[in-house]
Amino acid sequence: MLKRGYHHGNLRQALIEACLHLIAEQGPQGFTLSEAAREAGVTPAAVYRHFEGREDLIAEAARQGYEIFGDLMDYAFDKGQPSALAAFEATGRAYLAFARKYPGHYVAMFESGIGMQRTPELHAAATRAMGVLQKSAEALSQHIPPDKRPPPAMFSAHIWAMSHGVVELFARGSPGSTSPFSPEDILESGIGVYLRGLGLIAPDR
C-alpha cells in the first residue's frame, strides 16, 4: 500500500500514485475507487474529498502524465538542435522512452477513454505536449520539396501514429509482439522510409 503520502498530508497525490499503479497492473477499467483508496491506505470516503469519481482520478493522472511527457519531448527536441532531422528523430525516441518509464501515465493518457477536453488543465497539458511534436515536424517540413510537403499537423500526426503503433506492438511486452529488432530501430527505420518518400532523405544506394 502507498500509505506514506496520506500520512504526510498529501492524500491527493497518494491516490494518484495508487491509481497509476493499478492502471499499470490492471488497466484503466480494472480497478475501483475503493481499490485505489485501499492502495493508498485510506477509506473510500476519503477519496471524495479530492475526486468526484474514478474518471476524475484517472483524468488527473493523465494530466500529470502529459506534463511529464511534454517536458521529455521538449528536452529531446532541444530547440531543434543539432539539426531539424536529428531533433525530429529524438522526439520519436522520447515517445518510446516515456511509454516504458511511465506505463501508468501512458495508459491513462492514451487508453483510458478520458478525452483531452475533460478539464481545461488536461487539455492545456496535452496541447503543450503534442505541440512539441508538431513544432518539430514544422521545422523539418521546411526542408521537404514544396510539392511533396504535407501540412505540418498531418506530418506530425503521421509520426505520432507511427510512434504509437511501435509502442503498442513492440515496446510494452504485448503477447505475440516479438521482433528481432528493437522498438527504437523499428521506429527509426519507419521514419526513414516515410521521410525518403517525401524526398527529405536521399534514397539508399
Mean pLDDT (the chain, rounded): 82
Q: Which helix (H) or strand (E) holds 96?
A: helix 84-101
pLDDT given for residue 31 in this prediction: 82
Superfamily of domain 60-197: Tetracycline Repressor, domain 2 (1.10.357.10)
Superfamily of domain 1-51: Homeodomain-like (1.10.10.60)
Q: Residues of CATH 1.10.10.60 domain(s) within the chain?
A: 1-51
List, for residues 80-139, the tens digit of each pLDDT value: 888 888 888 888 888 888 988 999 999 999 988 888 888 899 999 999 988 888 888 888
Do 185 and 166 touch, CB atoms closer than 8 A? Answer: no
pTM of the model: 0.82
Q: Residues of CATH 1.10.357.10 domain(s) within the chain?
A: 60-197
> Residue ranges of the chain with pLDDT lower than 70?
1-9, 171-178, 200-205
